[in-house]
Structure 1
Amino acid sequence: MGVGYRNSEGYWDPVPFAAAANMDREAKKYRPLVYICSRGEGEMEKIRKYSRFAVEQEAIPLAPDLLLSQYMKEKEQDLILLMRKVLLGKCSEIWVFGSEITDGMKQEIGKAKKKGMTVRYFTEDLREA
């Protein structure tokens, strides 16, 4: 049974129909999953800022530096690199923040370009470069 213009008692009631239509429009709004690529060491507050910026740009941010630092140990670098590659593969775009590009960031950018992903560059103050 779908949402109609009449309520369960048969009276005219367009409000539920309008609300359901509005929910459908919001659900269909596309937001790309974007990989937040930045210099991670000691930069957690900046990465939070970059992630919030992505949300405000109607994207869904994935910031592996924030995520993996919660439960991975420094000595597990090989596993961390593997996880980062897998997460990058799930995204449709990579957003690179900051003026310094580390070797790890270069590898991620290279992989993204090989996959044909959109690569966008931003300064630390959130201006597109």
Structure 2
Amino acid sequence: MRVSKYNAEGYYSPTEYEGMKNLLREEYERKRAQRKPIFMPKVFICSPLRGDVYKNILNAKKYCRFAVESGYIPFAPHLFFPRFLSDENEAERQLGIRMGKVFLDDCREIWWFGDTVTEGMQMELDRARHRRLTVRHFTANLEEVKD
């Protein structure tokens, strides 16, 4: 919206002009601050799959939800690849891990959850450290562990 330097009677009015200009600028900044950010960084979700598979899949979904609520785009390969690759077949499992590492390279951070690190998780964490990604550790209750 444009603000005129002249009042309703047509007289030059710099004080009112500056006041209205500042008011409109504040309104614009307030609305801008309320908008959600467009950029959402990608985060790689690292948690166990083997063992109690059903429980671990539910946990991975919970971790992905936590990432979304934190403003990140999550990628959990153990939620995606087992839909068409068998974790029981070692060749397909290794293929899934290798494909997951490709996605890992595009992420800004890796978040690992829980107390135990499985063999597959260790490979992902080693890759992330080698690529100098930010590695964050969370408990199963979604509390960050500070080293």
Q: Is this a same-fold pair by TM over 0.5? A: yes
Please say which structure displays the higher CA radius of gyration: 2
User: Larger relative contact order (C-alpha < 8 A, sep ≥ 6)?
Assistant: 1
- RMSD of aligned Cα (Å): 1.9
Q: Which runs of 4+ in 1 moved over 2 A?
A: none
* 2:10 match: none
Cα pair 2:77 2:96 within 8 Å, conserved = no
Return the offset for 1:113.
0.8
* 2:112 match: 96
The partner residue of 1:35 within 37, 40, 44 is 44
* 1:66 match: 79
Return the offset for 1:50.
0.3
Does 2:71 align with 1:55?
no
TM-score, normalization: structure 2?
Answer: 0.67
SS at 1:30's partner residue? coil
* 1:123 match: 139
Instruction: Give, in whole Å, the separation in 2 of the partners of 1:94 and 1:38.
Output: 10
Gap runs ≥5 in structure 2: 3-27
Question: CA offsets per residue over residues 68-92 of structure 1, 9 Å max, x none?
Answer: 1111123212311211111111111
* 1:13 match: none
What is the percentage of aligned positions where both structures have the same residue? Answer: 39
* 1:107 match: 123
TM-score, normalization: structure 1?
Answer: 0.76
Instruction: Give the length in aligned residue pairs.
Output: 109
Gap runs ≥5 in structure 1: 6-17
